[in-house]
Every structure is written in C-alpha cells, then in structure tokens.
A = this chain, B = another copy of it.
Amino acid sequence: MVGAVAFDSVRTPYGKAENILGGAATYLAVTASWFAPVRVVAVVGDDLGEEHLRVFQDRAIDTAGLVRTSGKTFRWSGEYTGDMNEARTLETQLNVFEQFSPTLPCSYLDSEFVFLGNIDPALQLHVRRQLTRARLVGLDSMNYWIKGTPEGLKRALAEVDILVINETEARMLSGIFNLKKAAEAIRKLGPTTLVIKRGEHGVTLFSEGGIFSAPAFPLDEVRDPTGAGDSFAGGFMGYLAKAGDLSDAELRRAVIYGSVMASFAVEEFGLSRLLRLTPKEIEARYCGFKALTQFDA
C-alpha cells in the first residue's frame, strides 16, 4: 500500500477533529489488514510519534517501507458541508512528502498485490516498476493529476491492472459524459478493470466479466467521509489478496468488501471505527449488502 501518511484536520456537520492520523496509505493499510498481511510505503516526519506508529503495529502492518525523515508529516485540512459528497480542501502542506521517491526495502519486492494510492503518477510508476512480481496492481488518482500531469498519469495507467476513481474524475479523464462509454475509453489506456466510485450512490465495476453495480450501504449517520475511497480500495485489494483469485466472481465480492469497509469508515471521524472492527461485524455487513441487493434468488 503506497500513498501518504498524513495528519488530517476535518470539519463536518457532526463536529471536528484536529491533526488526527490519516492519509491514503493509512486508510489503505488499515482496511486491507482486516483481510491479508499488509506492507506500507510512505514517508513521515519527526512529528509522527510512537502512538501513531502503534496504529500500524497493532494491526501487524509491515512498516519497513515507512521512511522517517526530519521535518513535518504531510498535513491536510478540509471540510464537508451539504451532501458531504465532496471535501472542500482548506489547506495542504506536502512537507516531507515533497522530496519522496522511495527505494523499496528488499523484503517488499515479492509483493503480489499492489495498490498505488493517490499521489504523483510519476511516483506511482517509480514504485510500480520496482515490483516486478506483482500479480495485480491498482491505482487511484484525482482531478489534480488528471488536469496537471495527464501524460504522466497515462504512463502510469499503461502499467496497472485496476483503476479506482470517482465518477466526476472518470468523466474528466475520458472526456466522455456517458459512464459506460467513458469506462470503455479508460480501459483502453491500460487498466483492464475500472472501479468507478459514486459516493453515496455506490460503486460500479467495469471488467472483462461485464458491469457490476453495488449501492452504498444506507447508514443512519455519515459523520466523516474522509478516507471512504481509500477504505474502499483497501478492502477491495485486501479481499483479492486473501482470495488469491482474480475471477469475476471474486472481483464482485471484493467490490462488496470494499463497500463494507467504506461504510464503516464514514461512521466516525478518522480511523476510529476501522480500528475497533471485528471480523464478525465485517461479515454481518457483507450479509447486509446481500439483503440490500438480492432479488429473484
């Protein structure tokens, strides 16, 4: 799991949190760790204390690829209002992330399932090329890179299997409004599988097995959407790593497990809900998705 480890400050209609542990790599690693052993690649500053490292250690996440350097850890602050489908970024401080270009530890080089969280596509490609034994590589990106470094993003996309991206970004990347046609165009750029995240409306998977659409889980309260997309991707990749099989049936189950993890992530601020899950709760919500979607069984 590659991406940022960050300190997030978040405000939503339900309250606020200051400088809590977050970042794509953190959400990816924590959610995937409920399914399979996880290795994390990121850079942190000397403001990251033992109590933060313990979050990874407690989940048995391998931190050999977590580079500690002098300076401050990446910081993001944002707020959610109205339908909470999109954050308004108030401030981004790249800090130690600015100079990050990791050489992976030898112990990581046999990794078979790789997810490149939302960072500079050149950095995603740099990591991806070190992982020559990867069976499945996923990538997340965002409007910032689609507009800012389209060529770099296309080079990275040419070398991955799965793109996980939100609806607006899929339209922006392809220049096509119709999602089915947008998906066809994007799949020609490299990834055979495309997962389009639709926020409160769920997720649609486009793959060689056809199209699969899953709703979001109806929740009583969505307190903090931060990390929902990364939690989806972590659950999705973690489940596939556990299954070890890339059939369409397993891809669909992975979409549901990803949706399960995203639904837990948003119930509370930051990582709180994700850290005190139980396998039983995860299975119960998976069954909840069956009850929510099945007809004519």
Contact = CB atoms under 8 A, between A and B. Distances in A.
Could you tell me the dominant secondary structure of chain A's interface residues?
A: mixed
A18 to B, nearest CB: 25
Contacts of A211: 218, 292
A48 interface: no
Contacts of A296: 249, 252-253, 256, 290
A293 B220 contact: no
A201 interface: yes
A213 B218 contact: yes
A90 interface: no
A202 interface: yes
* Max chain B C-beta neighbours (<10 A), residue from A178, A198, A201, A290: A201
A295 B180 contact: no
Copies in the complex: 2
A87 to B, nearest CB: 17
B256 A179 contact: no
Interface residues of A, number: 34
Contacts of A215: 202, 204, 213-215
B178 A295 contact: no
Given A83-B177, A198-B201, A256 B218 contact: no
Contacts of A83: 177
Nearest to A222: B178
A100 interface: no
* Max chain B C-beta neighbours (<10 A), residue from A180, A253, A292, A296: A296
A221 interface: yes
Nearest to A82: B177
Contacts of A198: 201
A253 B210 CA distance: 22
A219 interface: yes
Report the 4 A-B pairs with minimum CB-CB distance, sorted nearest first: A213-B215, A252-B295, A201-B201, A180-B218
